[in-house]
Amino acid sequence: MGFTATSLNSVAAEPPLISFGVGTSSSSWPVIAEAGHIGVHILGEHQRELAATFARSGADRFGPSTDWRSGPEGVPVLGGVLAWLVCRVVARVPAGDHRIVIAQAVAGDPAGGGRPLLYHQGRFTALRD
For residue 72, say if its preceding peptide bond is cis, omega within 30 degrees of 0.
Answer: no
- pLDDT confidence band for 58 (50 / 70 / 90): low
The helices-and-strands tally (H runs, E runs) of the chain is 2, 9
Set out the domains of the chain in order of their start, with CATH numbers.
Answer: 9-126 (2.30.110.10)
Backbone angles phi, psi at 111, to 5 degrees: -75, -15
Q: What pTM did the predictor assign?
A: 0.86
Greater confidence (38 vs 63) lies with: 38
pLDDT digits (tens, 9 = 90+) for 91-116: 999 999 999 999 999 999 988 788 89
